[in-house]
Amino acid sequence: MAVGQCDFPVMHEVAGLCLGTTCAGIKQTLKDDLLVIAMADSGTCAAVFTQNAFCAAPVLLAKANLPHQPRWLLINSGNANAGTGNQGMLDALDSCTELAKCVDGAANQVLPFSTGVIGQPLPVDKIIIALPTAIADLAPNHWDKAARAIMTTDTFPKGVSKQINLGGQIVTITGISKGAGMIEPNMATMLGFIATDAKIAQPLLQACLAQAVDQSFNRISVDGDTSTNDACVLLATGASLAPELFEDSANYPIFADAVMAVCKQLAEWIIRDGEGATKLMRIWVEEASTDDEALQVAKTIAHSPLVKTAFFASDPNWGRILAAVGRAGVSNLILEHVQIYLNEVCIVKDGCRDPAYTEAAGQFVMNQEEIVVTVRLGRGQIAAEVLTCDFSYDYVKINAEYRT
């Protein structure tokens, strides 16, 4: 059950981009599990990928194909094609080659993506048979279908769409993502596909995506596990009448901020849908001396199973938060400068329990569905935020039964 209201929004079409889905029967036959995204040949493509050393075959192939002006994305759910050795690479390549044949394109202009169970051979035959149906389904308004086709343990489809005014012309930014478990901020433990009709060169588009991912998907954590398959793609079709974006143009910061906002909302949807999640926690660390220091403290709290289970129980066991801050590796931490809050309730002041704190006040906050944990380190002016969720009984159940 997701945390909060998570309705799928109105998704603006992106000129020059179409999406098509079908059910290939990769793991089940009840919903679509294959997605094809096609972009106009005038477009550019940026992507970032998982840092897991055991990255999946489609990740390796997508990295290799990225410099070749990709025009098509091929995504399947139900099978990760990870831990499958050389055969996995051949299977990913065969899938891309077959799609290229169907659209009269080049195989190295196809980026493949897979999500699902690790270690099982990709059923290429099923994908090849289903490709013509997915291609026939291509349409600019199929964002909802696409968001559902890439889901695995997700409980709801995740989408965001924004329109901005650049030079008197409307530019659209629309995206979808999937992810609910195996989520840890280490680029970018999920799958995300974002498109815009802006006109922008590939190097600048890549820089824009990297900056947005660093502030969004790299700052979320469900369970601290970095997946083998995850990636985020930003496609720019160039179909808008808005002027081309350059790094020194007045419009670029507006565009970059909008891409950042889309990524942040998609990232938040993932945390709201964390496997078994009942609470959303915003870990806000301020008064740090460096960005790395602020992030390290925030991530240590966000990853702590003891903190996360206390939140599930609505137990104001603030000692677990205090302990996480203390083991975060901050050098020469002056305990008397540290303050910790649950929402507006101060629980730690001058390095120990705030004399004004009451268990009733802490309990009132812990009963909420969304909670802000604020840590003030008293060391500088740097702040950082990481989003996380609690650990519930359902998290164990979902992952224990994942392959059954």
DSSP, res 245: B
Q: State whether residue 320 is helix, strand or coil.
A: helix
Q: Which residue has the tokens 């240590």?
A: 300
Q: Last residue of a domain, which of 272, 291, 307?
A: 272
User: Are 286 and 263 contained in the same domain?
Assistant: no
Task: Record the pTM.
Answer: 0.92
CA 213 to chain centre: 8
Q: Taking 90 as the threshold, does the pLDDT of residue 5 lie above it?
A: no
Into how many domains does the chain fold?
Answer: 2
* Cα separations in angstroms, 52 against 93, 199, 212: 21, 32, 20
Q: What is 151-166 written as a DSSP string?
A: -SS-SS-EEEEEEEEE
| Closest to 174 measured CA to CA, from 77, 246, 242, 261 | 261
Q: For the sheet containing 110-117, what is the strand order? A: 17-22, 34-39, 72-79, 110-117
Segments forming the whole domain that contains residue 329: 280-400
Q: Last residue of a domain, which of 232, 254, 272?
A: 272
133 is catalytic: no
User: Are 37 and 168 contained in the same domain?
Assistant: yes
Instruction: Give the domain CATH number at 55.
Output: 3.60.70.12
User: Are 258 and 288 contained in the same domain?
Assistant: no
pLDDT digits (tens, 9 = 90+) for 299-337: 999 999 999 999 999 999 999 999 999 999 999 999 999
Q: Last residue of a domain, which of 221, 256, 272?
A: 272
Phi/psi at 140 (nearest 5 deg)?
-75, -15
Range 85-113 burial, b when 16+ CB lie within 10 A, else e = eeebbebbbbbbebbbebbebbbbbbbbb
Tokens of 126: 């099923």
Count of alpha carbons within 13 Å of 221, Cβ hemisphere only?
A: 25
Count of residues in the chain: 404
- pLDDT band, residue 358 (cuts 50/70/90): very high
Tokens of 142: 């199929």
* Cα separations in angstroms, 91 against 27, 77, 94, 133, 194: 16, 15, 5, 20, 25
Domain assignment present for 38: yes
**Which is more confidently placed, 268 or 229?**
268
169 burial via Cβ count (<10 Å: 0-12, 13-18, 19+): middle
Domain assignment present for 293: yes
CB 285 within 8 A of CB 377: yes
User: Are 255 and 297 contained in the same domain?
Assistant: no
User: Are 210 and 67 contained in the same domain?
Assistant: yes
Active-site residue, selected from the candidate residues 115, 189, 226, 237: 189
Instruction: Give the domain CATH number at 305.
Output: 3.10.20.340
Looking at residue 144, its amino acid is: D
Domain assignment present for 12: no
Pick the range with the lowest mean pLDDT from 26-30, 50-54, 98-102, 299-303: 50-54
Tokens of 101: 């044949």
User: Are 262 and 344 contained in the same domain?
Assistant: no
Q: Which residue has the tokens 């992810």?
A: 179
pLDDT digits (tens, 9 = 90+) for 73-116: 999 999 999 999 999 999 999 999 999 999 999 999 999 999 98
pLDDT digits (tens, 9 = 90+) for 220-229: 887 655 667 7
N- to C-terminal Cα separation, the chain: 20
Q: State whether residue 181 is helix, strand or coil.
A: coil
User: Are 385 and 307 contained in the same domain?
Assistant: yes
Q: How far apart are CA 61 and CA 20, in angstroms?
A: 22
What mean pLDDT do residues 189-203 have? 92
Give percent of the chain above pLDDT 90: 82
